[in-house]
Amino acid sequence: MTHDNRAKDLIVVSAVCVYDGAGRLLTVRKRGTDKFMHPGGKPEPGETAAEAASRELAEEVGIDVGPADLEPLGTWLAAAANEAATDIEATVFTAPGTWEAQPCAEIAEIRWLDLTAELPDDLAPLLTDHVLPLLGKR
């Protein structure tokens, strides 16, 4: 069996759906990138998906939700927003309640997304291809 060097790299991440009082979905843009996505990131060694999601949420936007309080939404394979020839395997959670967020760490900008309005064209594929269609059905 030959190794195909064109195979896509795979990054495992956790992501969180966070809502404000108006029902808008929180999206973040990391410094040096142009796509908006869920807050979240890669698990550290030994972390569960929920632990990674909880830690990243606190680090990136200052929202403190314990891993046990996050509600699993699903796991998807999607094209990475900011890395060429890379897929992400994203485990997505929902943070219960409503929140305010502040950009911290590597987050350059946050934007609350009105799910009833026309969507901007700078969203990550995980959002546009998987999560938003599901949320629209809920």
SS3 78: strand
pLDDT digits (tens, 9 = 90+) for 52-76: 999 999 999 999 999 999 999 999 9
State how far the Cα of 21 lies from the Cα of 106, in Å rounded to an integer: 25
Residue 133 pLDDT greater than 70, yes or no: yes
Overall size of the chain counted in residues: 138
Q: How many CA atoms lie within 13 A of 22 on its CB side?
A: 10
State how far the Cα of 20 lies from the Cα of 26, in Å rounded to an integer: 8
pLDDT digits (tens, 9 = 90+) for 74-116: 999 999 998 889 999 999 999 999 999 999 999 999 999 999 9
The tokens 């060694």 sit on which residue?
45
pTM assigned to the model: 0.91
Q: Which long-range contacts (CB under 8 A, 24 or more apart) does 2-11 make?
A: 6/85, 8/85, 8/86, 8/87, 9/83, 9/85, 9/86, 9/87, 10/86, 10/87, 10/88, 10/89, 11/42, 11/80, 11/83, 11/86, 11/87, 11/88, 11/89
